[in-house]
Protein backbone atom coordinates (compact mmCIF):
# COMPACT_ATOMS: atom_id res chain seq x y z
CA UNK A 1 0.00 0.00 0.00
CA UNK A 2 1.25 3.47 -0.87
CA UNK A 3 1.52 6.48 1.44
CA UNK A 4 -0.95 8.41 -0.71
CA UNK A 5 -2.86 10.99 1.33
CA UNK A 6 -4.25 14.41 0.51
CA UNK A 7 -6.61 17.01 2.02
CA UNK A 8 -9.18 19.40 0.54
CA UNK A 9 -11.29 22.24 1.91
CA UNK A 10 -14.56 23.53 0.52
CA UNK A 11 -14.16 27.07 -0.83
CA UNK A 12 -17.42 28.90 -0.07
CA UNK A 13 -16.68 31.76 -2.45
CA UNK A 14 -15.78 29.60 -5.42
CA UNK A 15 -18.22 26.86 -4.35
CA UNK A 16 -15.74 24.09 -5.04
CA UNK A 17 -13.26 21.82 -3.35
CA UNK A 18 -9.71 23.21 -3.28
CA UNK A 19 -6.46 21.49 -2.34
CA UNK A 20 -5.14 22.70 1.02
CA UNK A 21 -2.28 21.77 3.30
CA UNK A 22 -3.59 23.56 6.37
CA UNK A 23 -6.69 25.06 7.98
CA UNK A 24 -7.00 27.84 10.59
CA UNK A 25 -6.39 26.51 14.09
CA UNK A 26 -9.15 28.66 15.55
CA UNK A 27 -12.16 26.62 14.44
CA UNK A 28 -15.07 25.10 16.33
CA UNK A 29 -14.32 21.62 15.10
CA UNK A 30 -11.03 21.58 17.00
CA UNK A 31 -11.99 23.89 19.87
CA UNK A 32 -15.37 22.41 20.79
CA UNK A 33 -15.92 19.27 18.70
CA UNK A 34 -18.86 21.19 17.22
CA UNK A 35 -19.33 19.08 14.14
CA UNK A 36 -19.75 15.73 12.48
CA UNK A 37 -17.90 13.40 10.15
CA UNK A 38 -18.51 10.52 7.80
CA UNK A 39 -15.93 7.85 6.90
CA UNK A 40 -16.76 6.61 3.41
CA UNK A 41 -15.46 4.41 0.63
CA UNK A 42 -15.15 5.82 -2.89
CA UNK A 43 -14.92 2.96 -5.36
CA UNK A 44 -15.67 2.50 -9.06
CA UNK A 45 -16.43 6.20 -9.44
CA UNK A 46 -19.00 6.48 -6.64
CA UNK A 47 -19.37 6.73 -2.87
CA UNK A 48 -20.47 3.36 -1.55
CA UNK A 49 -23.76 3.50 0.40
CA UNK A 50 -23.94 7.26 -0.27
CA UNK A 51 -27.64 7.49 0.60
CA UNK A 52 -27.04 6.04 4.07
CA UNK A 53 -24.10 8.36 4.73
CA UNK A 54 -26.12 11.35 3.59
CA UNK A 55 -29.13 10.43 5.75
CA UNK A 56 -27.00 10.07 8.90
CA UNK A 57 -25.10 13.29 8.23
CA UNK A 58 -28.29 15.27 7.65
CA UNK A 59 -29.77 13.90 10.87
CA UNK A 60 -26.69 15.21 12.68
CA UNK A 61 -26.86 18.60 10.96
CA UNK A 62 -30.46 18.95 12.09
CA UNK A 63 -29.56 18.04 15.69
CA UNK A 64 -26.71 20.57 15.82
CA UNK A 65 -28.71 23.25 14.04
CA UNK A 66 -26.32 23.41 11.09
CA UNK A 67 -27.20 24.45 7.56
CA UNK A 68 -27.14 21.74 4.92
CA UNK A 69 -27.30 24.19 1.99
CA UNK A 70 -23.69 23.56 0.90
CA UNK A 71 -23.43 19.98 2.13
CA UNK A 72 -23.78 18.16 -1.17
CA UNK A 73 -22.80 14.50 -1.32
CA UNK A 74 -23.69 14.27 -5.02
CA UNK A 75 -21.39 17.20 -5.77
CA UNK A 76 -18.69 15.62 -3.62
CA UNK A 77 -19.02 12.37 -5.53
CA UNK A 78 -18.66 14.21 -8.86
CA UNK A 79 -15.58 16.03 -7.57
CA UNK A 80 -13.97 12.76 -6.50
CA UNK A 81 -14.78 11.10 -9.82
CA UNK A 82 -13.39 13.99 -11.86
CA UNK A 83 -10.26 14.26 -9.69
CA UNK A 84 -9.44 10.60 -8.96
CA UNK A 85 -11.34 8.63 -11.59
CA UNK A 86 -11.87 5.01 -10.58
CA UNK A 87 -9.24 5.01 -7.83
CA UNK A 88 -10.39 3.31 -4.61
CA UNK A 89 -10.26 5.79 -1.73
CA UNK A 90 -11.09 6.11 1.93
CA UNK A 91 -12.74 9.48 2.53
CA UNK A 92 -13.20 11.24 5.85
CA UNK A 93 -15.62 14.14 5.43
CA UNK A 94 -15.57 16.62 8.33
CA UNK A 95 -18.46 19.10 8.54
CA UNK A 96 -18.33 21.59 11.41
CA UNK A 97 -19.77 24.93 12.49
CA UNK A 98 -18.21 28.08 11.03
CA UNK A 99 -16.64 30.85 13.15
CA UNK A 100 -15.10 30.29 16.57
CA UNK A 101 -16.41 32.14 19.62
CA UNK A 102 -17.25 30.53 22.94
CA UNK A 103 -19.58 27.65 23.74
CA UNK A 104 -22.50 29.65 22.38
CA UNK A 105 -22.72 29.15 18.58
CA UNK A 106 -22.57 32.27 16.44
CA UNK A 107 -23.51 30.69 13.12
CA UNK A 108 -25.34 27.81 11.50
CA UNK A 109 -23.02 27.86 8.48
CA UNK A 110 -20.44 25.11 8.07
CA UNK A 111 -16.86 24.49 7.02
CA UNK A 112 -15.99 21.24 5.26
CA UNK A 113 -12.71 19.33 5.01
CA UNK A 114 -11.87 16.11 3.18
CA UNK A 115 -9.12 13.74 4.29
CA UNK A 116 -8.39 11.32 1.47
CA UNK A 117 -6.19 8.25 1.43
CA UNK A 118 -5.96 4.99 -0.44
CA UNK A 119 -8.71 2.54 0.51
CA UNK A 120 -7.78 -0.55 2.48
CA UNK A 121 -10.64 -2.91 3.28
CA UNK A 122 -11.28 -4.16 6.79
CA UNK A 123 -9.17 -7.20 7.79
CA UNK A 124 -11.05 -10.44 7.23
CA UNK A 125 -10.13 -11.73 10.70
CA UNK A 126 -9.27 -10.00 13.97
CA UNK A 127 -7.71 -12.74 16.04
CA UNK A 128 -7.77 -11.33 19.57
CA UNK A 129 -10.49 -9.22 21.17
CA UNK A 130 -11.42 -8.23 24.70
CA UNK A 131 -14.15 -6.39 26.60
CA UNK A 132 -12.95 -3.19 28.22
CA UNK A 133 -13.87 -2.42 31.82
CA UNK A 134 -12.25 1.02 31.65
CA UNK A 135 -14.50 2.83 29.17
CA UNK A 136 -18.27 2.65 28.78
CA UNK A 137 -20.75 4.48 26.56
CA UNK A 138 -23.56 6.70 27.80
CA UNK A 139 -26.85 7.54 26.06
CA UNK A 140 -27.32 11.05 24.70
CA UNK A 141 -29.11 12.66 21.75
CA UNK A 142 -26.02 12.20 19.53
CA UNK A 143 -25.07 8.62 20.52
CA UNK A 144 -26.07 7.29 17.10
CA UNK A 145 -24.11 9.93 15.15
CA UNK A 146 -20.44 10.36 14.25
CA UNK A 147 -19.43 13.56 16.01
CA UNK A 148 -16.01 15.19 16.25
CA UNK A 149 -15.90 14.29 19.95
CA UNK A 150 -14.80 10.65 19.93
CA UNK A 151 -12.81 10.37 23.16
CA UNK A 152 -14.44 7.11 24.38
CA UNK A 153 -13.28 5.37 21.20
CA UNK A 154 -9.85 7.00 21.34
CA UNK A 155 -9.28 5.78 24.90
CA UNK A 156 -10.73 2.33 24.24
CA UNK A 157 -8.43 1.85 21.26
CA UNK A 158 -5.49 3.17 23.25
CA UNK A 159 -6.18 0.42 25.77
CA UNK A 160 -6.47 -2.09 22.92
CA UNK A 161 -3.04 -1.10 21.63
CA UNK A 162 -1.52 -1.35 25.09
CA UNK A 163 -2.96 -4.85 25.52
CA UNK A 164 -1.74 -5.81 22.01
CA UNK A 165 -5.23 -6.81 20.94
CA UNK A 166 -6.90 -6.61 17.54
CA UNK A 167 -10.32 -5.42 18.72
CA UNK A 168 -11.98 -3.92 21.78
CA UNK A 169 -15.65 -4.29 22.75
CA UNK A 170 -17.39 -1.55 24.74
CA UNK A 171 -20.37 -1.86 27.07
CA UNK A 172 -22.96 0.79 27.82
CA UNK A 173 -23.30 2.35 31.26
CA UNK A 174 -25.68 -0.45 32.32
CA UNK A 175 -23.23 -3.20 31.40
CA UNK A 176 -24.86 -4.31 28.15
CA UNK A 177 -22.86 -4.93 24.96
CA UNK A 178 -22.75 -1.76 22.84
CA UNK A 179 -20.20 -1.92 20.00
CA UNK A 180 -16.58 -2.41 19.03
CA UNK A 181 -13.80 0.17 18.95
CA UNK A 182 -14.76 1.54 15.54
CA UNK A 183 -17.49 -0.82 14.40
CA UNK A 184 -20.83 -2.34 15.28
CA UNK A 185 -20.98 -5.93 16.53
CA UNK A 186 -23.08 -8.96 15.54
CA UNK A 187 -23.04 -12.61 16.56
CA UNK A 188 -24.75 -15.84 15.54
CA UNK A 189 -26.10 -18.57 17.83
CA UNK A 190 -27.37 -21.47 15.76
CA UNK A 191 -29.55 -19.94 13.06
CA UNK A 192 -30.31 -16.78 15.07
CA UNK A 193 -28.40 -13.49 14.75
CA UNK A 194 -28.03 -10.85 17.45
CA UNK A 195 -26.89 -7.23 17.60
CA UNK A 196 -27.20 -4.50 20.26
CA UNK A 197 -30.13 -2.15 19.95
CA UNK A 198 -29.41 1.53 19.34
CA UNK A 199 -30.72 2.00 22.89
CA UNK A 200 -27.35 0.55 23.99
CA UNK A 201 -25.61 3.80 22.94
CA UNK A 202 -24.00 2.34 19.81
CA UNK A 203 -23.58 4.22 16.55
CA UNK A 204 -26.17 3.83 13.84
CA UNK A 205 -23.47 2.43 11.58
CA UNK A 206 -23.80 2.47 7.82
CA UNK A 207 -22.39 -1.08 7.67
CA UNK A 208 -24.83 -2.08 10.41
CA UNK A 209 -27.72 -0.80 8.31
CA UNK A 210 -26.51 -2.65 5.22
CA UNK A 211 -26.26 -5.93 7.14
CA UNK A 212 -29.66 -5.56 8.81
CA UNK A 213 -31.31 -4.86 5.44
CA UNK A 214 -29.62 -7.93 3.92
CA UNK A 215 -30.64 -10.20 6.80
CA UNK A 216 -34.23 -8.97 6.60
CA UNK A 217 -34.33 -9.49 2.83
CA UNK A 218 -33.08 -13.07 3.25
CA UNK A 219 -35.66 -13.80 5.94
CA UNK A 220 -33.03 -14.54 8.60
CA UNK A 221 -33.95 -14.19 12.26
CA UNK A 222 -32.38 -11.08 13.78
CA UNK A 223 -32.70 -9.92 17.38
CA UNK A 224 -31.89 -6.32 18.29
CA UNK A 225 -31.79 -5.86 22.04
CA UNK A 226 -29.85 -5.45 25.28
CA UNK A 227 -27.43 -8.34 25.87
CA UNK A 228 -24.97 -8.97 28.67
CA UNK A 229 -21.41 -10.04 27.80
CA UNK A 230 -22.25 -13.60 28.88
CA UNK A 231 -24.48 -13.87 25.82
CA UNK A 232 -21.41 -13.76 23.57
CA UNK A 233 -20.15 -16.96 25.24
CA UNK A 234 -22.96 -18.86 23.51
CA UNK A 235 -22.08 -17.59 20.03
CA UNK A 236 -20.76 -19.66 17.13
CA UNK A 237 -19.53 -16.66 15.15
CA UNK A 238 -18.92 -13.01 16.05
CA UNK A 239 -18.19 -10.23 13.59
CA UNK A 240 -17.81 -6.45 13.57
CA UNK A 241 -18.70 -4.11 10.74
CA UNK A 242 -18.36 -0.52 9.59
CA UNK A 243 -18.41 1.21 6.21
CA UNK A 244 -15.02 -0.35 5.39
CA UNK A 245 -16.35 -3.91 5.63
CA UNK A 246 -16.66 -6.94 7.92
CA UNK A 247 -14.12 -8.60 10.24
CA UNK A 248 -14.66 -11.91 12.04
CA UNK A 249 -13.40 -12.20 15.61
CA UNK A 250 -11.29 -15.26 16.39
CA UNK A 251 -11.29 -15.01 20.16
CA UNK A 252 -12.83 -12.84 22.90
CA UNK A 253 -11.03 -13.44 26.15
CA UNK A 254 -10.67 -17.22 26.44
CA UNK A 255 -13.57 -18.09 24.12
CA UNK A 256 -12.82 -19.03 20.51
CA UNK A 257 -15.19 -18.52 17.59
CA UNK A 258 -15.46 -19.74 14.02
CA UNK A 259 -13.98 -17.33 11.48
CA UNK A 260 -15.37 -19.17 8.47
CA UNK A 261 -17.09 -16.55 6.27
CA UNK A 262 -20.89 -16.62 6.47
CA UNK A 263 -22.56 -17.01 3.09
CA UNK A 264 -25.31 -14.48 3.81
CA UNK A 265 -22.69 -11.75 4.35
CA UNK A 266 -20.69 -12.45 1.20
CA UNK A 267 -20.57 -9.63 -1.34
CA UNK A 268 -22.31 -6.98 0.79
CA UNK A 269 -19.26 -4.69 0.78
CA UNK A 270 -17.86 -5.43 -2.69
pLDDT tens-digit map of 63-101: 999 999 999 999 999 999 999 999 999 999 999 999 888
Distance CA 37, CA 3 (A): 22
Burial of 103-140, coded b for 16+ CB within 10 Å and e otherwise, reads: eebeeeebbbbbebbebeebeeebeebbebeebbbeee
Q: Residue 2: what pLDDT?
A: 52
- Would you call 3 exposed, middle or buried from its count of C-beta atoms within 10 A (0-12, 13-18, 19+)? exposed
CATH number of 125-265: 3.20.10.10
The DSSP H or E segment spanning 93 is: strand 89-97
Give the Å distances, CA to CA, from 228 to 50, 174, 201, 247: 33, 9, 14, 21
5-118 fold: D-amino Acid Aminotransferase; Chain A, domain 1 (3.30.470)
Q: Which residues contact 197 (CB under 8 A, 6 or more apart)?
A: 224, 225, 226
Distance CA 118, CA 128 (A): 26
pLDDT tens digits, residue range 195-229?
999 999 999 999 999 999 999 999 999 999 999 99
pLDDT tens digits, residue range 100-150?
889 999 999 999 999 999 999 999 999 999 999 999 999 999 999 999 999
Q: Residue 5: what pLDDT?
A: 86
What are the residue ranges spanned by the domains of the chain? 5-118, 125-265
Banded model confidence at residue 20, pLDDT cuts 50, 70, 90: confident
21 dihedral zone (left: phi>0; alpha: psi -120 to 50; beta):
alpha
Amino acid sequence: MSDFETNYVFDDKLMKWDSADSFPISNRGMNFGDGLFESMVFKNGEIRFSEKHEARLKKGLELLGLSEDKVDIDGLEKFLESTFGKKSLRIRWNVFRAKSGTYTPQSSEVHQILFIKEFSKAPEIKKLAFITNEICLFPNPWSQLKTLNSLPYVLANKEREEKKMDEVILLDQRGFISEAGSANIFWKIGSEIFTPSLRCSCLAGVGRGVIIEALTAKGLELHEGSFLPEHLAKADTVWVSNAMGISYLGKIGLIEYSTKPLSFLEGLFD
